[in-house]
Amino acid sequence: MVEIPEHLRKRAAEARAKAEGKSSDKTAGDADPGDALPAAADTPSASGGDGEKIPAHLLERGTPAADQPSSSTPAPAEGGGIPEAGSGPDGHNQRLLTVVKAGSIQDVKTVPTDKVHVWPHLLVAEFLAALAITLFTTLFSIFVNAPLLELANFNKTPNPSKAPWYFLGLQELLTMFHPMVAGVTIPGMGIFLLILAPFIDKNPSTKPEDRKFAISLMTIHLMFWAVLVMIGSFFRGPGFNFVFPWNAGLFFDL
The answer to whether residue 9 scores a pLDDT higher than 80 is yes
Query: Is 150 a domain residue?
Result: no
Mean pLDDT, the chain, as a whole number? Answer: 75
- For 144-172, write each residue's pLDDT tens digit: 888 777 888 888 888 888 888 888 889 99
Which of the pair, 225 or 63, is modelled with greater confidence?
Answer: 225
The confidence score (pLDDT) of residue 10 equals 87
Query: Is 43 a domain residue?
Result: yes
The confidence score (pLDDT) of residue 94 equals 54
The confidence score (pLDDT) of residue 36 equals 44
The answer to whether residue 46 scores a pLDDT higher than 50 is no
Query: Is 129 a domain residue?
Result: no
The confidence score (pLDDT) of residue 180 equals 93
The enclosing H or E element of 141 equals: helix 123-143
List residues bridging with 93 in a β-sheet. 87
Q: Of 38, 65, 92, at which residue does a domain stop?
A: 65
Query: Is 192 a domain residue?
Result: yes
The confidence score (pLDDT) of residue 38 equals 46
CA gap 23, 40 in Å, rounded: 10
Task: Say how many domains are in the chain.
Answer: 2
Per the CB < 8 A criterion, the answer to whether 73 and 53 are in contact is no
Structural domain of 33: 1-65
Instruction: Find the mean pLDDT for residues 37-41.
Output: 44
List residues bridging with 54 in a β-sheet. 46
Exposed/middle/buried for residue 39 (C-beta within 10 Å: 0-12, 13-18, 19+): middle
Which of 198, 242, 237 is CA-nearest to residue 217?
198
Q: Of 65, 88, 108, at which residue does a domain stop?
A: 65
Query: Is 212 a domain residue?
Result: yes
Torsion of CA 14, 16, 22, 24, to 10 degrees: -120
pTM, full prediction: 0.42
Which of 202, 190, 18, 196 is CA-nearest to residue 115?
202
Query: Is 48 a domain residue?
Result: yes
CA gap 37, 33 in Å, rounded: 8
Instruction: Find the mean pLDDT for residues 19-33.
Output: 64
- For 65-121, write each residue's pLDDT tens digit: 556 655 555 555 444 444 455 455 555 555 555 555 555 556 566 666 677 788 888
Query: Is 88 a domain residue?
Result: no
Percent of the chain with pLDDT over 90: 17
The answer to whether residue 30 scores a pLDDT higher than 60 is no
Residue 217 sits in a domain whose CATH number is 1.10.287
Q: Of 65, 99, 119, at which residue does a domain stop?
A: 65
Query: Is 224 a domain residue?
Result: yes
